[in-house]
Chain A
Amino acid sequence: MDLLLPEFGLFFWTLIAFVIGFLLLKKFAWGPILEALNEREKNIADSITSAEKVRNEMASMKSEHEVLLNQAREERTLMLKEAKETKERIINEAKDAAKEEANKIMAETRQQIEFQKNAAIIDVKNQIGTLVIEVAEKVLRKELSNKEEQNKYINTLAQEIKLN
């Protein structure tokens, strides 16, 4: 069975061709190919790690953001509350001030009225006095025109004085 026996020529050529082929392929084909594939593998691994890192960062940033947002929300509520309080205080103060002013004005007005009334009363009293004196003068002038009457009156007056 020559099929099971190695042939010298084929052995020789296969050995030479395979070894040379292997060395050439190793240098010019497998080297660059494997290098590129390894590089890509490394790049992918790096990309995954960096993506993970970014994701974690994003998550932490998000939580930070949330905290800030909550703080802002609280601050806003606080500010609104304060503003409301301030508003009410200002309104109340204004109201109080207005009331006071009104009361003051009212008091002044009342005083003024009182004053005017008094002045008017005094004036009326003065006029009445003058009128009474005038009337009395006229009456006296008429009464004292006769002697008898004069004496009678003097007597009355004198009696009055004694009684006093």
Chain B
Amino acid sequence: MSFSFQSSLKSVLTVFLLIFGISFFAAAQDTHEGHSEATEAGHEATENKINVKEIIFGHIRDSHDWHLFSIGHFHASLPLPVILYNPSHGLSVFMSSKFEHGHAEYNGYKQINDHDIEADAALHGGKSDLAKGKIISLDGSKFYNFSITKNVLSMFISLAILWFLLTGIAKKYKRNGSNKAPSGWQNALEPVIGFIDENVAKPYLGPKAAKYMPLLLTFFFFIWVNNLLGLIPGGANLTGNITVTLVLTLIFFVVMLVNSSKYFWGHIFNPPGIPFGIKLILVPIEILSNLMIKPAALAIRLFANIFAGHTIILSLICMIFIFGAMNRGVGFGFSIVSVGFSVFMFFLELLVAAIQAFIFTNLVAVFIGQAVEEHHHEEHAVEAHH
């Protein structure tokens, strides 16, 4: 019954942990061998003063290795594959451990490190726009970065989780038919699927709800699972990344445009029953709001919510060390307050994870509903007759 599904999930986790463990030891060895005395001394000097911005953005930003924890100079991190395509030099594929955390150059590429940022800041009057850890080519030639970064790997993991979870349920439905009471994960996810169907798809999409249900469900579960994975300490901040939310919005936008009705475009470019003078003002507003502001707001809302949640939790944690740097006792004292707030924020973020997934899905349904709707007024007239 559910054993096969559970065991398959277990085996996936085991394989994942195995790979994880092996790479972890490889990474640990790298860090030990790679550091020279001089760089370690330099590192220590910068590490002693707390760079809050660096800590927070380091956690929120995508990176080329999956950092787990650091004890002193020991950095436990999982190296990830770097895939670079340079039109002039060709393809180069290697593990990010070759860069030795920004200390080494490899194959004509290097990662931006603290020294580069300091040098850049000196050039630009104390401020630098360079992002630590970003790969640049030494000769300044243009290249495309297809690397499997922390976010990409996290997304693959989330899709794998969704795949095993959902196909497991699907198999159960197929095996047991629709008349047997649901059990296990089936029981847990059925109300969620029902909720999306009853409260999101049907109210806004009406008779076309069934067509868009798979897309809405995929949006909802993808965002929800990734929000939750992001909350795990050491997890990737995928849904708090503008690129990911932009892609989700782009997919929604394409679906909306492909399925939009004549009526929708008619309302944008030629709103009925409005004088010509007002149309001149209204049409640009309609174009802006329907084709730009609504999708952009969708992408920014999700990004900003998750980004903000992560930033707040990290800031609260950082406060312990800021106070700790001033005075050890104050640091310990504040840690109680900080942990209390962090736990509160964590629970709030659990809620936000589900709420933002729901809001994104809901707005997608609303916007698609507006775009695919046909003969709005006639329908209302018919309804009124009924």
Q: Which residues of A come within 8 Å of B, CB atoms?
A: 1-15, 17-19, 21-22, 24-26, 28-40, 43
Contacts and interface: CB of A to CB of B under 8 A. Distances in A.
A15 B250 contact: yes
A14 B218 contact: no
A27 to B, nearest CB: 9
A40 B246 CA distance: 37
B283 interface: no
A36 B251 contact: no
A40 B147 CA distance: 45
Interface stretch (B208-216, B289-297, B339-347, B374-382): B208-216
B174 interface: yes
B366 interface: no
Contact of A28 (B170, B197, B243, B248): B170
A48 B247 CA distance: 44
A33 B215 contact: no
A10 B218 contact: no
A4 B217 CA distance: 27
Question: Top 7 A-B pairs ranked by shortest CB distance?
Answer: A29-B166, A36-B173, A39-B178, A30-B214, A40-B178, A32-B170, A26-B214
A28 B62 CA distance: 31
Given A21-B159, A30-B214, A31-B214, A37 B197 contact: yes
Most chain B CB within 10 A, of A2, A21, A33, is at A33
A21 B214 contact: no
8 contacts: A3-B61, A6-B242, A15-B251, A24-B163, A26-B218, A30-B213, A33-B169, A39-B177
Nearest to B147: A9
B251 A7 contact: no
Given A9-B147, A36-B174, A3 B60 contact: yes
A68 B63 CA distance: 86
A21 to B, nearest CB: 4
Most chain B CB within 10 A, of A1, A5, A29, is at A29
A40 B83 CA distance: 48
Interface stretch (B18-26, B32-40, B95-103, B149-157): B149-157
Given A4-B242, A14-B244, A29 B169 contact: yes
Interface in B359-378: none
Nearest to B82: A9
Contact of B170 (A10, A15, A21, A29): A29
A13 B236 CA distance: 15
A39 B176 CA distance: 12
Given A9-B146, A10-B243, A33 B173 contact: yes
